[in-house]
Amino acid sequence: MKKKEKRQKNSSAQIWVETIIYTLIGLTIISIVLTIAIPKIEELKDKNIIESSKEVLFDLDNKISEVLISPGNQRVAEITIKKGKLEINGNENSIFFIVNSNYKYSEAGQEIKEGKVLVKTEGVNEGYKTTFKLNYSSLNLTINSKEVIESLEASTTPYKLIILNKGNFNIDIKTK
């Protein structure tokens, strides 16, 4: 009888050891998959954010082009910034959208042109800084009737910009 009891104890101990080993193997596999998948998921999120940031600039450029038709024209642009910042520079007559991310949008250090938008990606720390730029050198761009720099940061609520043609190639963007 003692041999039978001893075999049962060894058998149940072996089952517990196997269960623990299989659990550890399973947790290790899950950890490896998550280690690989999470950065890829973050990169895809950043890619979508960068693409939507570019679309914001295209939309803003379209609104500015629409108001250029005649003095007094006015358009409202609603802009949602999920990540990064939109910078309207009245001193340089340009608009920038800057996004720090894990996604490499273009070749680092090289400026490319997509329509009217200039794009430059730079490597920073462990990620990338992508800058989209609209240059309006033929216009006098003002913000709230002043030649200043206005930065709009990421926000859950959309910004409402009023774009007004004041005549003589003067475009005023009201942010407040």
Digit-coded pLDDT (tens) for 5-63: 555 666 777 888 889 999 999 999 999 998 899 888 988 999 998 998 889 899 999 99
DSSP code per residue over the chain: -HHHHHHHHHHHHHHHHHHHHHHHHHHHHHHHHHHHHHHHHHHHHHHHHHHHHHHHHHHHHHHHHHHTTSTT-EEEEEE--SSSEEEEETTTTEEEEEEEES---S-BT-EEEETTEEEEEEEETTEEEEEEEEE-TTSEEEETTB--EEEEE--SSPEEEEEEEEETTEEEEE--
Digit-coded pLDDT (tens) for 50-96: 998 889 899 999 999 999 988 999 999 999 998 999 999 999 999 99
